[in-house]
Amino acid sequence: MTAVVVVPHHVSHPTHHLDEVPARPPLRVIPGGRKAARAHALGYRSSHGRLHPAIYRRRRLGVALAMVTVAVMASFAVTNASKVSANGAPTSPVSVTKATATDSYVVQAGDTLWSIARRIHPSGDVRGVVDRLADRAGSTVLQPGQSIRINDLAS
C-alpha cells in the first residue's frame, strides 16, 4: 500500500510574468500506506513547527459542520417543543374552542380519537366523547382529511 503526499515547495524567485501559471507542487509517493503518511505528517509538523494547512482546513470544516448540525437540531427541538401541550400530547394548529351546530373537525395527520376528544373537552374524563366520536367517524381508524361532526360534543 502506498500514500501520495503533496510536498510543499518554495519559489526562491518571484514570478515576473502575470500570464505565467505557477507549477503544481511535486507529489511524492510514500510506501507504507496511512501509517507512513501519518509519520510523514508528524515529521512535517516537527520540522515546520505547525500542522500542514490542509489539516487545518479539514479540521475547520469538521468543526463548522458539527456547529451547523447542532444548530439545526436545536432549532428542530425548539420548534417541536412548542407544538406539545401541557399533558405531553402533540397539538394541532387547529383548535376547537366552542362547538356550534355546524362545526366539524377535519382530521390532521397524527390525530387520534383521544387527541381530538381532548381538544374538544380539555379537562375531565373524555371516554364518552371518544365513544361518540368513534360513532360519528364510522370506525376507530381515522384518515387525514376526514371530516367529523363535533357539534354538541363539547358539553
C-alpha triplet 21, 27, 32: angle, nearest 5°: 165
In a domain, 15, yes or no: no
Residue 148 binned pLDDT confidence (cut-offs 50, 70, 90) = confident
In a domain, 24, yes or no: no
In a domain, 44, yes or no: yes
Q: pTM of this prediction? A: 0.35
Torsion-angle region of 69 (φ positive above 0: left; ψ -120 to 50: alpha; else: beta): alpha
In a domain, 135, yes or no: yes
How confident is the model over 77-126, as pLDDT tens digits? 888 765 555 555 555 544 444 444 458 888 888 888 888 888 888 888 88
In a domain, 67, yes or no: no
In a domain, 117, yes or no: yes
Structural domain harbouring 129: 104-149
Torsion-angle region of 35 (φ positive above 0: left; ψ -120 to 50: alpha; else: beta): alpha
- Read off the pLDDT of each residue in 62-66 and give the average, rounded to a whole number: 94
Which pLDDT score is estimated for 6? 62
CATH code assigned at 125 = 3.10.350
Grid coordinates 387527541 are at which residue? 115
In a domain, 51, yes or no: yes
Mean pLDDT of the chain: 75
Residues composing the chain = 155
Range scoring the smallest mean pLDDT among 17-21, 57-61, 131-135, 141-145? 17-21
**Helices 113-120 and 127-137 meet at what angle, rounded to 10?**
120
In a domain, 1, yes or no: no
Q: Please tell me the distance from the alpha carbon of residue 27 to that of residue 18, in angstroms, as a whole number.
A: 25
As for how many domains the chain has, the answer is 2
